[in-house]
Amino acid sequence: MATPNLPAHRIGTLAPGTRAKSDAELVTSWVDNLGSAHSQRNFAKTAGRFLEALPMGIRKATVEDVREALAQITEGLSASTAQQYVLRVKSLLSYGHKLGYMDFNAGVTIKVRPDQSQARLAQRIISEVEVGLLIRAALTERDRVLLAVAYAGGLRVSEIVALKWADVILRDDKVQLSVTGKGGRARQVLLPKSVSRLLLALRGDAGANDPVFASRKKADHLAEHSVHVMVKRTAKRAGINEGVSPHWLRHAHGSHALDRGATLAEVQSTLGHANVATTSGYLHARPNTSSGLKLDEGIFR
């Protein structure tokens, strides 16, 4: 990647962990370490603005200098965007300090203001017990399997209703779903064994191009609206938060999988987040791991 057009603050000696001799070269090294082109562009842009607001350079900057520069570049931004800027700068400073580029990491004492959207997200994450209650409260086998697959795969409601049986591939004792997400990006999602069995038992004599979750009125894909209505009615029957939506199961997947030891990379890949390199194209045709495999299978029984 070409060195970004950033202010170059020369330093006198070669740092032991990096060949970077300037702030600009350090940023290039840091950015090149990121996984996706999308992240590289955003992080390089943030770093450029930060260095422009830090005339003395990273190596000579004090904590106060860093705070003032951050205040300058985040002025007028939304809370969530400002938070991302602060986190990126802290990452850059930590990277430089870890490699010996500077003796002091001025970013360590910089506090990240909580983003209220994160608080709202936390309110939308139901517990494992509640997920189990929701699945068991489903009136039909189709609805039960749909809820189990939505949670185990961390799928968006649009991805759930679009599934065809051709997208369901048996890999040993597990099912692999070929999922088309936002922007037409495709990914492979591996389901736990217990959920795989539930899903395969639902097929009957359906053909490859038939919908996995069909409408009862006609042999067509369920509408997203119908899934939303079903989830809310099932939540009421289960005695849990009636504000729950299909997307809450996706949030729950991410939270619960991380709690149970899934790596961040596994969760990002399974959920198909756009800023992860593996989600910009197809995932490996035969994944041997998935964050869904870290979930408690007792929920589905």
Write down the architecture of domain 124-300 according to CATH.
Answer: Orthogonal Bundle (1.10)
Average pLDDT taken over every residue of the chain: 82
Give residue-wise pLDDT tens across range 22-79: 999 999 999 988 767 778 888 999 999 999 999 999 999 999 999 999 999 988 877 7
CA-to-CA distance for 290 and 269, rounded, in angstroms?
8
Supply the pLDDT for residue 101. 93
Choosing from 90, 221, 250, 253, the catalytic residue is 250
Spatial neighbors of 78 by CB under 8 A, at least 6 apart, are none
pLDDT for res 127: 87
What homologous superfamily does CATH list for 23-116?
Answer: Tyrosine recombinase, N-terminal domain (1.10.150.130)
Predicted confidence at residue 230, as pLDDT, reads 95
Catalytic residue list contains 156: yes
Q: What is the CA radius of gyration of the chain?
A: 23
Q: How many CB atoms lie within 10 A of CB 31?
A: 22
* Distance, CA of 157 to CA of 147 (rounded, Å): 10
In the set 19, 182, 203, 236, the catalytic residue is 182
Q: Is residue 228 annotated as a catalytic residue, yes or no?
A: no
pLDDT of residue 251: 83
Give the integer Cα–Cα distance in Å for 295 and 107: 35
Q: Which of 203, 236, 260, 282 is catalytic?
A: 282
**Is the full-model pTM beyond 0.85?**
no
- Name the residue among 124, 147, 135 with its Cα closest to residue 241: 124
Residue 143 contacts by C-beta under 8 Å, 6 or more apart in sequence? 230, 234
Residue 85 bears catalytic tag:
no
d(CA 250, CA 148): 11
In the chain, CATH 1.10.150.130 covers: 23-116
The type of residue at 43 is: F
Catalytic residue among 41, 45, 185, 273: 273
Is 182 labeled as catalytic in the residue annotation?
yes
Q: In this predicted model, what pLDDT tens digit does every residue of 116-134 receive, in sequence order?
A: 445 454 556 788 999 999 9
Confidence check: pLDDT of 273 > 50: yes
Lowest mean pLDDT among 25-39, 87-101, 114-128, 193-207: 114-128
Choosing from 38, 193, 228, 247, the catalytic residue is: 247
* pLDDT over 60 at 11, yes or no: no
pLDDT score for 289 = 58
DSSP state of 246: H
Mean pLDDT lowest for which of 139-143, 254-258, 259-263? 259-263
Q: Choose, from 156, 221, 251, 253, the residue flagged as catalytic.
A: 156
pLDDT in tens, 220-252: 899 999 999 999 999 999 999 878 889 889 888
Half-sphere exposure of 250 (CA within 13 A, CB side): 17
For the cut 60, the answer to whether the pLDDT of residue 106 exceeds it is yes
**Longest CA span, the chain:** 75
Does residue 282 have an active-site annotation?
A: yes
Q: Where in the chain is the domain with CATH 1.10.443.10?
A: 124-300
Confidence of residue 4 (pLDDT cuts 50, 70, 90): low
